[in-house]
Structure formats: C-alpha cells, structure tokens
Amino acid sequence: MFYLIALFVILLDQFTKWLIVSKMQFGDSITIINNILYITSHRNRGAAWGILQGQMWLFYAITLIVIVAIIYYLQKAAKGKWLLGVSLSLMLGGAIGNFLDRVIRKEVVDFIHTYIFGYNFPVFNIADSALVIGVILLMIQMLRDEREPKEKSYEENGTHHS
C-alpha cells in the first residue's frame, strides 16, 4: 500500500507539471486567491529555494541515494508502523517526482505560488509538498518512538507522569 501512495504522488505531480508546461507560458500566473495563492509557471534548475543552480550531477547522485535509502527503510522499518510508512512513501513519491523532472526536462517545474503572512514564499510543486509533509510525519513518528519507551517504563514502575 505504501508504494501505491508513492505512485499516486508521482502521477499527480507529473500530471500537474504536464498541465503547467502544456497550458501556460513560463512566467504566466493565474490568481486563485488574491494576495494568497497563485498558479505561476516557474522553473528551477537548482534545489530548494533555487540553491545550487545547475548542479544536476549532484542532484542525480543524492536523489538516487535517498530513493534507495527510503525503499530500504520502507522494507525494513515501516512494517507495522503506519505513520512511518506513509511518511516514507510521501518522501519517496516526492523525490521521484522531482528526479523525473531533472532527468527529462533538466529542470524542475514549479507552479504553486503562495504569500503566507505577507511573505512571498518560493514557488513549489506537488513533489515538494509531499516531501515536506513526509518529513513532518517522520518527525511526529520519531517523537512517538522516543516517548514509547518512557511510557512503558512508567507503566512497569507503576508511576505515571502527565
């Protein structure tokens, strides 16, 4: 099931990017919610926030290592841990989605443009969103894993802390 989540992210990401590339010119913008949300045709040849522009060989290598590591952890650590599996599958789908752009287009297609609390946030895409949500869920899972031994210790010792 976790691989289906990753596949869904990849398909949704690639479909939305295809729509942007085929229906909009670079730089075109459509207002969804004025001063908050826009669909803006943008390209990125770097990493997050446009850093490391043009370093494709680095992105290929890092992304392949990340994909292999995520698949390994999905196979080994996610069994019986739903939240961990979902977080890893979102990260896998996001990593593959942007990797496909870099391999096929030599740049990443971005289009979600937001102004959050007046801040002009960098333009991003579905793959980026899946990666961020996956990392947040992974942090929640890690916090839960950290609390679990403490709670068991309290139960075994007959103490309870709120």
**Residue 110 bears catalytic tag:** yes
Report the C-alpha dihedral over residues 136, 137, 138, 141, rounded to 10 degrees. 130
Summarised one tens digit per residue, pLDDT across range 107-155 is: 999 999 999 888 999 999 999 999 999 999 999 999 998 887 666 655 6
Query: Tokens 């990017």 appear where?
Result: 17
Model confidence, pTM: 0.84
Q: How many residues does the chain have?
A: 162
**Residue 101 bears catalytic tag:** no
How much of the chain is in helix, strand and coil states, percent to nearest 5? 60, 15, 20
Q: Which of 13, 28, 101, 110 is catalytic?
A: 110
Summarised one tens digit per residue, pLDDT across range 54-86 is: 667 788 889 999 999 999 999 998 888 999 999
Q: Which of 13, 28, 101, 128 is catalytic?
A: 128
